[in-house]
Copies of this chain bind each other. A is one copy, B any other.
Amino acid sequence: MNFKDYRDFTGSSPEKFFKSSLFRSENLLLGLNCLEPGQSQPEHGHTSQDKFYFVLEGQGEFSVGEESRTLGPGLAAWAPAGLPHGVRNEGDQRLVILVGIAPAPG
């Protein structure tokens, strides 16, 4: 199945932001992070993986290293390996982010 609609992979979880995978190989994981209002992904880093965020819906406060910025639909963030990054949804609607991690974790 080589074609997918991201809207089929959104969701929510009360305890923690929601993650799903669209496609995955050793080289790349492409998925979604969905954060309800008030949810966050704490700052963390990946030792040997580069990551991008691309906002699809809502808006969030993104931090990458020393920089932080509020991003809405069409804006992207890049976190090279080792650089701490995170995101908080301080808005009033669901934040949906397309996320790519290369190589895939795990």
CB within 8 Å of B: which residues of A?
Answer: 2-7, 22-23, 25, 27-28, 30, 49-50, 52, 54, 56, 62, 64-65, 67, 69, 71, 74-81, 83, 98, 100, 102-103
Contact B100 A62 (CB under 8 A): no
Known contacts A50-B25, A62-B3, A30 near B74 by CB under 8 Å: no
B65 touches A30 (CB 8 A): no
A83 to B81, CA, bound (A): 28
Cβ contact of A52, chosen from B30, B65, B79, B81, cutoff 8 A: B30
User: Quick check: B75 and A30 within 8 Å, CB to CB?
Assistant: no
Copies, count: 2
> Shortest Cβ distance from A72 into chain B, in angstroms?
9
Q: Name the distance in Å between A4's Cβ and chain B's nearest Cβ.
A: 5
CA distance A54 to B6 in the complex (A): 9
Pair A102/B3 contact, Cβ less than 8 Å: no
Q: Do the beta carbons of A28 and B100 come within 8 Å of each other?
A: yes
